[in-house]
Structure 1
Amino acid sequence: MDVVLDHKELIKYPFLKESQQLARRHVESLEEFLSGSTGALALERAKERVFAAISTKRDFQGESASNIRPEFEIASYALARVLVSCIGDRSLVDRLARYEAERASFFLATEKSDIRRYVALSLGIDPDAPVMPVTRYIELVPRMRDPRWRLVNRDLRQGMVHLEPGETDELIRERIRVILVDQMPLRVPSAICERLAPATQEIAALLQQQILEQFGEVKEEAFPPCISALIAAITAGGNLTHMARFAITSFLHTIGMTTTGIAELFSRAPDFDLDRTMYQVEHISGRGGTEYTPPSCATMRTFGLCVNRDKDCERINHPLSYYRLKKNVKKKKQG
């Protein structure tokens, strides 16, 4: 397809190979780039991208990047990925990937048909086709949670999945997100991460603040019965299964408890081993490079971890929802 994107389009889709080539022509050495005034501007813009990814609000129309040239705006995208890679938090990686995917999708929605088609095809998706090969479809939807994406709920004929109007746009957005998630964290030299420490510390603080605003201070009395039972089992010296350790660690990590705090909880066990526990906690928390989320109530039931159900359990389908519910009830009573 013979389409040439100008700098205005390349800014919108910094993940395209043409965008990366433009940035590389002007940024040969990251060390030298960061030392210059333009590099400082690009770094500030990169921070803005990560801050926007952490925020729950989206305002792509209000983006302002007119103070730096297109090639350095694209460089800010690369720097944003470097920043979150230095921080090493998988939830932050996922937030940035989701933000960039939503950003590109926003611009594609109003793009000229030839450009929209070019970008979509570069991602391996035909935006105008009413059907998609089932093998390709299966590659795209495993992390999409809406039940309508499950293959059993689709119109499948002769190896082709039929798509409803607008669904291709969602698949394009998901494809961008998955590509970016799979690319991160990047292998960043420690010297670069040290140089970026002031920016990464600022980002980490904002992320922690956002988590606290969402879940508030960690309150053990608001834990769902299943999580409380696992804590009791640890204290009693029980030998938890891998799934049980995964469930409690991923839950505590998501509500904002630090790695050290989670390890301290496991220290209640009589056979506590610090090095082994820290390794397991850091791995489950995402340091190993895999994105983890706490298991749902259905998964907890499957593994025999759904115990001591109460009346509030009937109202929710995820331990995190139970935790939010109990904290909100307590907050209202105190108010």
Structure 2
Amino acid sequence: MRAFWYPFTHAAAKEIRLIDAPLEDVLSSRAFQPVRRRAVERVRGALHGEIPDADASDGVKQNVELLSYPLARLIVSCIDDDYLLRRYVLAEAKLAHRRLRSSDTEEVLEIARDLGMSPIYEGDNFRIHFTDFVISAARFRSQKWKLINRTIDHGYLKVTREELLRLMQERIRDRIQEGLPLDAGSICEGLSDHLRSIRDELASSKRSSMVDLGEFSRDALPPCMRSLLEQLAAGRNLAHTARFALTSFLLNINLGVEDIIGIFNNTPDFDEEMTRYQIEHIAGSTGTRYTPPSCSTMLTYGNCPGGDELCRRIKHPISYYRRRLRESRS
């Protein structure tokens, strides 16, 4: 296994322990400047949606890749921002997924085992135990990831190579998430210069991730819809009922299909074809245009984060929006 490509593995942790790299030197020594640079690059890449790959053509560069991972985790922990943490974890998992796609089958199986999975290679496909499938696919909303839509034989089901890699990405995401944020304590002082610049980029990223509603007013959004948009911006998957509520709401305040697809493209299980189909269906492609659920329904399905004073006087998110819009224009 190329441990430097997969620094979240147990094999990589062993290699990191073998490197003569006292933390004080990593934080301040000129010799470890490439490690600090790459760690910052990992965090900044996460803010912009993708961690760039790195040249690891020799042992020194491989050590940089190995050591930059725990240092990046320390940086994220020092900043201790939920938005950054979620984007970082997702970006590291996506980087690993890109690398897995170019790995041979033996390496894929070795990493899967490191993650606690036990896939069996069969020709062009794999067999995995249904428990591995259920655990890894828990966040997915597409019907193809529902166990009921799979054929199980003696506890195992078939998956393609790409499906296995996608399932592994979720396990990697959980592995990276473990322990974050770390208790960095005084270590943060040694990273203060880097933290300052990343905090500035973080603030900018948060502003740019806010959904552009064109002529519509964000201030007029009801708390429930504002909360769902914030969850999407943070890279979270929404439950089916929440996706329906948000999509139908946005369509009913005249956002277009393409705009709404763009809003959902930050979710971990984003599938443009499926997302387009669902949005067009809600928009009325089959003859029925759907309206958003009422406030009571939002509450029933756990999609109401708690209302404000106006919520107590209205019964529907659209009514809330229109009332706030009128008030802002008066």
TM norm structure 2: 0.64
2:107 to 94, 105, 115: 115
User: How do 1:88-237 and structure 2 match up within 5 A?
Assistant: 88-125=80-117, 126=119, 128=121, 130-189=126-185, 191-215=186-210, 221-223=216-218, 228-230=221-223
Partners of 2:250 and 2:115 lie apart in 1 by 47
Partners of 1:59 and 1:47 lie apart in 2 by 11
1:312 to 240, 251, 254: 254
User: How do 1:1-335 and structure 2 match up within 5 A?
Assistant: 5=1, 9-27=2-20, 29-57=22-50, 59-60=52-53, 63-64=54-55, 68-125=60-117, 126=119, 128=121, 130-189=126-185, 191-215=186-210, 221-223=216-218, 228-230=221-223, 248-249=226-227, 251=229, 293=236, 298-299=241-242, 310=252, 312=254, 321=263
Report sequence identity in percent.
23
Q: Classify 1:213/1:107 alpha carbon distance in 2 versus 1 (closer, same or farther; 3 Å).
A: same
Counterpart amino acid of 1:200?
L
Decide whether the 8 Å contact of 2:47 with 2:202 is kept in 1.
yes
The alpha-carbon deviation at position 59 of structure 1 amounts to 4.6
Aligned residue for 1:131, secondary structure, equals: strand
Decide whether the 8 Å contact of 2:36 with 2:71 is kept in 1.
yes
Q: Classify 1:311/1:70 alpha carbon distance in 2 versus 1 (closer, same or farther; 3 Å).
A: closer
Decide whether the 8 Å contact of 1:295 with 1:318 is kept in 2.
no
Decide whether the 8 Å contact of 2:86 with 2:235 is kept in 1.
no
Decide whether the 8 Å contact of 2:50 with 2:91 is kept in 1.
no
Partners of 1:317 and 1:217 lie apart in 2 by 9
Partners of 1:121 and 1:12 lie apart in 2 by 16
Q: Could you list the runs of 5+ residues in structure 2 that have no partner in the other structure?
A: 265-330
Partners of 1:64 and 1:162 lie apart in 2 by 35
The alpha-carbon deviation at position 159 of structure 1 amounts to 3.2
Decide whether the 8 Å contact of 2:39 with 2:72 is kept in 1.
yes
Q: Classify 1:114/1:194 alpha carbon distance in 2 versus 1 (closer, same or farther; 3 Å).
A: same
Partners of 1:193 and 1:43 lie apart in 2 by 13
Partners of 1:141 and 1:30 lie apart in 2 by 37
Partners of 1:220 and 1:294 lie apart in 2 by 27
Partners of 2:110 and 2:243 lie apart in 1 by 43
Q: Classify 1:102/1:319 alpha carbon distance in 2 versus 1 (closer, same or farther; 3 Å).
A: closer
Q: Could you list the runs of 5+ residues in structure 1 that have no partner in the other structure?
A: 231-243, 256-290, 323-335
TM norm structure 1: 0.63
Decide whether the 8 Å contact of 1:101 with 1:174 is kept in 2.
yes
The alpha-carbon deviation at position 47 of structure 1 amounts to 0.3
Q: Classify 1:296/1:137 alpha carbon distance in 2 versus 1 (closer, same or farther; 3 Å).
A: closer
Q: C-alpha offsets along residues 56-86 of structure 1, whole Å, 9 cap, x if unaligned?
A: 35653xx235694433431111101111111
CA RMSD, aligned part only? 3.8
Partners of 1:96 and 1:127 lie apart in 2 by 31
Counterpart amino acid of 2:160?
E
Partners of 1:90 and 1:121 lie apart in 2 by 30
